[in-house]
Structures are given as structure tokens and as C-alpha cells.
Amino acid sequence: MIMMRVLGVALDQAGQHLVLLKPLVDGPGEPRVLPIWIGAQEANSILVAINDERTPRPLTHDLTTTLIDLLGARIARAEITKLDAGTFYAELTLVTGNGPRLVDARPSDAIALAVRAGAEIVVDESVFEDAAIPAALTAGADDDEDEADAASAADPDAPPSAADEAKLEEFKRFLDDVDPEDFQG
């Protein structure tokens, strides 16, 4: 499993939302990110969570997190488990009084809940190998950004760095010429 963090949320050329996941520690070779297409409501929910914003009424993911807490459980992990015909699959690991429980989830919901709960986000190595794209496509990545990336990895709840924001802007430009079908495994 590869430990990840949410790099950001973007729109593709068709106006579809996607969440960008980046490994906490880049492996050997060129750094890569994992784009996962998600719905608009989930994108909004993830943005609310990563920006630590409050809404006048609880969003569905806020309600779900509250219910899990009230039942004496906690979200320990969101795991992107497989990629099948262009569809990502995920599971949530809940820690309960009766031991850990796995819950099938859409990746967007799993990520939105994990961000709220401060839980880890992991991706199966085979999924990452099949669907990750070079980080250079998301920005003109260079060695000057290593320090900012290391700081972000040390505190995944920290706001995005200027380097991350620049990468996201460049990635948005990349999305003008890409279709979701380009990433089918």
C-alpha cells in the first residue's frame, strides 16, 4: 500500500471533478499523482474538509462522521483497492468495539470521510501503477519543490504550499487536452 495525501480537486475539460492524490513519499523514478474522477458534491465535500471550513448545516460526510463517532467507532483508513474497467473501488476501515470492520465505499466518499477523520489514505500498488500519471504533467516539477513536498508530507493537514498550487494550476491546463478514458487500466 502507498500512503497518499490529497493534493487538490480540479475540473477536467468536460467540467467533471477529480481529486488528485499524491504519495507522501515519492518512489524511485519520476514523481506521479493519481487522478480519480468524482462527483460535484463529493468534490465540494472534500474541499470543505481540506480547507477546514464549516457549513451552516452538516454535509452528508459530516453527518456520517458524527454518526460513526456517536456509535463509538472511528475511521482509521480509506483504501483505494482496485481499478476495474476505469472504475475505482475503495474500502473504509472502521475501528469498533468489536474489532476492525471493512466497509465498501466509493473512493470519493472514502476520501471525504478520511480527510474529516484525519485517517490515512492508501492506494494499492497495482492501482497506482495502472492509473498514476507523471507529476510533471501537473506542473513543471523541479528539485526546488522537494522541501515544500517534504513539509507537506510531514503534516498532511497543512494547507497546500505555493508549489502544490502551481502544480494544480498546471494540471488544470493539462486537463484541457485529456479524457477520463485515457486512464482506463
pLDDT confidence of 184, banded at 50, 70, 90? low
**Average pLDDT estimate for 130-155:** 53
The strand pair at 120-123 and 133-134 is best described as unpaired
* pLDDT for residue 181: 62
Flag whether pLDDT at 140 surpasses 60. Answer: no
CB-based contacts of 154, cutoff 8 Å, min separation 6: none
What are the chain's domains? 2-183 (3.10.690.10)
pLDDT confidence of 166, banded at 50, 70, 90? low
* pLDDT for residue 27: 78
Q: In what order do the strands lie in the sheet with 17-23?
A: 99-105, 87-96, 74-84, 120-123, 2-11, 17-23, 32-38, 133-134
* pLDDT for residue 15: 87
Flag whether pLDDT at 83 surpasses 90. Answer: yes
pTM: 0.73
For every residue of 81-110, DSSP letters joined together read EEEETTEEEEEEEEEETTEEEEEEE-HHHH
